[in-house]
Structure formats: structure tokens, C-alpha cells
Chain A
Amino acid sequence: METSRSYPRGTRSGDWVTADTPVGYELQSLKKKAAVQLMGSRLWGRFNPNHWDPVYAAKTGLKAPIQTGEMSSAYLAEMCVNHFGEHFFTGARFSCKYVAATLANEVISTHGIITAKQENADEVRFTVDLWAQNEAGEKKTVGTLDVAVPRGKGAA
């Protein structure tokens, strides 16, 4: 299997976005379960019982504890790193809007599609629509990525 230091180990060359990747290219989804044990860990949501305690969540009108939005953002970022590799860390713009709450025990999938390319002299700048949804297809997080890939930058 072809490998590259520029992309996470285990990704394949066909997954790597290069200057030649066309508009319409779909990033490969990740799947994650909103496990309440992770949602309520000290480093994540322990500070706010809305993120892990069903009693407190019910008291504030929620159907179940909700994930911190930053967990969805991290899922989407992981997907982007798989495809854009090191380029995601040098000048990328990444936005997320949490349009609906991710509830405990939901299975979330991440999605992305390249919607535009701007051809510059030394680089190609990609615009990517991003979203995360549950198994029923309800969108939970929507966002965009703007990231540049240098021309002629092969796999290192």
C-alpha cells in the first residue's frame, strides 16, 4: 500500500486530495457513537451535566444529554485530516454551526463534499461543505472548510 508522511497512516493514495481532485469529490464518512461515558469525561463534558446526566438534561428541557459541539467539530476535523493531511494545519479556515443537538447514544456520521476550487499560481484552494448527521439523516452540525493544497506537492 502506498504511504505518505503527509497523510495519516492507513489512508490510501486515492483518499488524498491533490491539486487535481475535482469539484464534487466526496470525503469518506466517519462513524462515531455518542457514548455518554465519553461525553461526560473530565476533559470533555463533565463541567456541564447537560452533557452526561439524564436528570439534569430533562430538567433543562432536553430529551437526553447532548454532546458538546466540539466533539462533532473534532469528528469533522478528523475526516478532513484524512483527506487533506498536513495541509489542514497550515492556513485552513473551518467553521461549524451546531444546528441540532447530538443526543446520547446516537450514531453520528460525518460528510464532506468539495464544492469549489480556486486555481492560484502555487496552490489550489478548495471549499468543502461539511456536515454531521444521525442515522435518520437529521443534520446536527453544518460547516465549511477552506483549505489550500500546494501544486506539485506529491506524497512525501
Chain B
Amino acid sequence: MAEEVATDALKPMSDIQIAQTRAFIGGLEEGSTPYWDAVEIGDELARELTLTPELVVLYADGVEDFNSWYEGWTMNGWRAEGSSPFGSAIVPPLLVSHFVLAVQFDHTKPFSIGSIHTFHESEIIAPIPVGTTVEIRTRAIDKYEKRGRRYVRHEIEVTDVAGGTLYFRELRDIMSL
């Protein structure tokens, strides 16, 4: 018989924290469909995202990257221009890649939990200043099966909403349940 796993197996939690966690996950599971079924080849989605100083430091803190080039916000000074080799603060090179999933998974539908990102090939074309509003545009270009697993492939472009500068391109695969 398989050993039962506890919600607090990896970090200390009280009963109320455990109950809140289970309620949150119950909500995620409601209405979720496999990603494979949610995407058709040719589907194109786009959203705009303002890369605020606070968003950038939240991203960088999560991966413990404390390069000062990304700091358009500090605890003592709050918002500031910051400094990088390109002038003011810039966003970490793969930050926009992380946010692609919030575009390619249509945010107006329940999230397809259980999907796994397996591959990306990224082209970092130009530095993105902190504070820029970008458009992330995704196109589903293929659905394929390999060794019994189902994959959806997208191509992505990230551009400056104000000036049209192309900052970033990517090809990426998601494995669907």
C-alpha cells in the first residue's frame, strides 16, 4: 500500500493552512481540461504586460538572482531608474519567457493544471528596460505525439507596445496530460 503523502510534508503548516491549501487546489481543479484539448493549431493569443520594477524583483527573488542591473526597486529607495550597461535597469534575460505561459494558456479559461513545459529555444534580441509595456504574442504551430506523450508547440514574439521594438522570440513545447 502506497504511503500517504501529507500536505505539510515539505514545510511546517497548521491545520488552517492545510485546509486553505486543499481548498485552493480544489478550486484549480474545477473545470480544468487537458491542454491538448484546449489548443488548436493556428490559435493565436496576445496580451500586454507592463514590466514594473516590483514585478521584476519578484521574479528575480524567486530564483535568487540579485544582479543589481535588474533593480528598479529597492527596499530603501523604492522606485528608481536603476543602472545597467544599457543605462537604466533592465529585466532579466528570460523573464518574458516565464510569462509566456500566461498567454499561451488562454487566461479566460480554467488553467490546464498538470501540463509540463519541456523545451524552449529563445532568442534574446535586445535588452528590455524596466517599466516597458510589452506585447507577448503566441501562435500554436504544431501538436504532436512522441513516445506516447502529447506535445503542443508554440512560437512567440515579444515586442514593445509603444515603439514596436522586437525584444525576444521563442519556440517552446508543452507536454499535456
Q: How far is the CA of A90 from the CA of B85 in the complex (A)?
A: 12
Which of A21-29, A41-49, A111-119, A122-130 is the contact stretch? A41-49
With beta carbons under 8 angstroms apart, the residue of A55, A70, A75 that contacts B117 is: A70
Whether B62 pairs with A38 at a CB distance below 8 angstroms is yes
Any chain B CB within 8 A of the CB of A73? yes
Give Cα distance in the complex from A105 to B122, angstroms. Answer: 28
Q: Is A104 within 8 A of B28, CB to CB?
A: no
Do B113 and A48 touch across chains, with their CB atoms under 8 A apart? yes
Contact: B65 with A78, CB < 8 Å?
yes
Q: Is B147 an interface residue (CB 8 A)?
A: no
Q: Which B residues are in CB contact (< 8 Å) with A134?
A: none
Interface residues of A in 51-78 (CB under 8 A from B): 53-58, 60, 64-66, 68-71, 73-75, 77-78
Interface size class on chain B is 35 or more
B162 at the interface (CB under 8 A from A): no
Number of A-B contacts (CB under 8 A): 139
* Chain B 71-100 per-residue mask, 1 if CB under 8 angstroms from chain A, else 0: 000000000000011100010111001100
Are B7 and A53 touching (Cβ within 8 A)?
A: yes
Note all chain A residues with C-beta closer than 8 A to B9: 54
Find out whether the CB atom of B117 lies under 8 angstroms from the CB atom of A98.
yes
Residues 106-163 of B at the A interface (beta carbon under 8 Å): 111, 113-127
Size class of A's contact patch? 35 or more
Instruction: Indicate if the CB atoms of B113 and A47 lie closer than 8 Å.
Output: yes
Is A156 an interface position by the 8 A CB rule?
Answer: yes
**B114's contact among A38, A48, A96, by CB below 8 Å, is which?**
A48
For the complex formed, measure the closest distance between the CB of A75 and the CB atoms of chain B, giving whole angstroms: 6
Once the chains bind, are A47 and B111 in contact (CB under 8 Å)?
Answer: yes
Given contacts A60-B114, A156-B85, contact A77 B125 (CB under 8 A): no
Smallest CB-CB A-B distances: 4 pairs? A86-B85, A74-B63, A95-B121, A89-B127
Known: A44-B98, A55-B22, A93-B123. 16 other contacts (CB 8 A): A32-B64, A43-B55, A43-B58, A48-B114, A50-B114, A66-B116, A69-B117, A71-B62, A78-B92, A86-B86, A89-B90, A92-B124, A93-B124, A94-B94, A94-B122, A95-B121
Task: Please list 11 pairs of residues, one from A and one from B, whose beta carbons are closer than 8 Å in the complex, sorted by A's number.
Answer: A41-B58, A47-B111, A47-B113, A48-B114, A53-B21, A55-B6, A65-B10, A69-B120, A73-B97, A74-B92, A81-B67
